[in-house]
């Protein structure tokens, strides 16, 4: 597989990034939380496309399956179970909008400034071949087998905890 994207591919990636940023602004500002959840799905799909442009195809698949498939379903269920949201008279934002915007834009500006200044040790393109699923599996069950086991225990504990918390007391 060719390591470099074509010019058209680059333009497509930048367009996807732009749409994702606009959708992300929608996620935090839309009044109706259901619409916010749908725009979050857009951001997650855009992230999957960015993963593909970074040659992480397996991660893009995982992103779509877990985030867009499972997490979005959970969020939409929670939105529907706790309605009383679409009422126009209820404010969805607290009163800290302007100071929060100031602080966050300052943080973002400083972050971007530092990111553009820093001398990242970028190696020449084509030094490594793209990561295949085989490489991922070997790393996950070789070097990273202990974190893998720990995260499995955390996941099962979290799922049992979620069921226990959410079930009605008899």
Partner 1 sequence: MEIPLQHYLVFAAVLFSIGAFGILTRRNIIGILISIELILNAVNINLVAFSKYTSISPETGQIFAIFIITMAAAAVAVGLAIVISIYRVSKTVFTDEMDLLKW
Q: Among 42, 53, 61, 68, which residue sits at the site for partner 1 (rule: CB under 8 A)?
A: 53
**Spatial distance between the Cα atoms of 8 and 16, rounded to a whole number of angstroms:** 12
Q: Among 3, 15, 86, 149, which residue sits at the site for partner 1 (rule: CB under 8 A)?
A: 3
**Region at 44 (left for phi over 0; alpha for psi -120 to 50; beta for the rest):** alpha
Rounded to the nearest whole angstrom, what is the least distance from the CB of residue 1 to partner 1 in the complex? Answer: 14
Largest alpha-carbon pair distance within the chain? 63
Sign of CA dihedral 30, 36, 39, 44: positive
Binding positions for partner 1, 86-115, rule CB under 8 A: 91-94, 96-97, 100-101, 103-105, 107-108, 111-112, 115
Residue 7 touches partner 1, criterion: CB under 8 A:
yes
Residue 38 touches partner 1, criterion: CB under 8 A:
no
Token pair 């020449």 is found at: 124
Rounded to the nearest whole angstrom, what is the least distance from the CB of residue 64 to partner 1 in the complex? Answer: 11
Q: Among 1, 88, 165, 170, which residue sits at the site for partner 1 (rule: CB under 8 A)?
A: 165
Binding positions for partner 1, 9-28, rule CB under 8 A: 10, 13-14, 17, 20-21, 24-25, 27-28
**Spatial distance between the Cα atoms of 41 and 159, rounded to a whole number of angstroms:** 22
Residue 136 touches partner 1, criterion: CB under 8 A:
yes
Q: With contacts defined by CB under 8 A, how many residues of the chain interact with partner 1?
A: 86
Given a contact cutoff of 8 angstroms between Cβ atoms, the answer to whether 67 and 40 are in contact is no
Rounded to the nearest whole angstrom, what is the least distance from the CB of residue 63 to partner 1 in the complex? Answer: 7
Phi, psi angle pair for 123, to nearest 5°: -85, 160
Q: How is residue 143 written in tokens?
A: 């070097």
Rounded to the nearest whole angstrom, what is the least distance from the CB of residue 99 to partner 1 in the complex? Answer: 8
């Amino acid at each position: 597989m060719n390591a470099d994207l074509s010019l058209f591919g680059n333009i497509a990636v930048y367009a996807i990034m732009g749409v994702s940023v606009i959708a992300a602004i929608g996620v935090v500002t839309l009044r109706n939380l259901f619409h916010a959840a749908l725009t979050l799905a857009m951001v997650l799909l855009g992230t999957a496309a960015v993963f593909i442009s970074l040659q992480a195809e397996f991660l893009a698949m995982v992103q779509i399956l877990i985030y867009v498939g499972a997490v979005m379903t959970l969020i939409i269920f929670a939105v529907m179970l706790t309605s009383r949201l679409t009422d126009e008279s209820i404010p969805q934002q607290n009163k800290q909008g302007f100071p929060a915007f100031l602080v966050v834009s300052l943080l973002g500006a400083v972050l971007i400034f530092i990111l553009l200044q820093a001398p990242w040790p970028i190696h020449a393109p084509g030094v490594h071949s793209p990561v295949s699923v085989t490489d991922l599996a070997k790393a996950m069950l070789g070097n990273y087998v202990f974190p893998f086991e720990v995260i499995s225990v955390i996941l099962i504990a979290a799922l049992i905890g979620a069921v226990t918390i959410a079930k009605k007391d008899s």
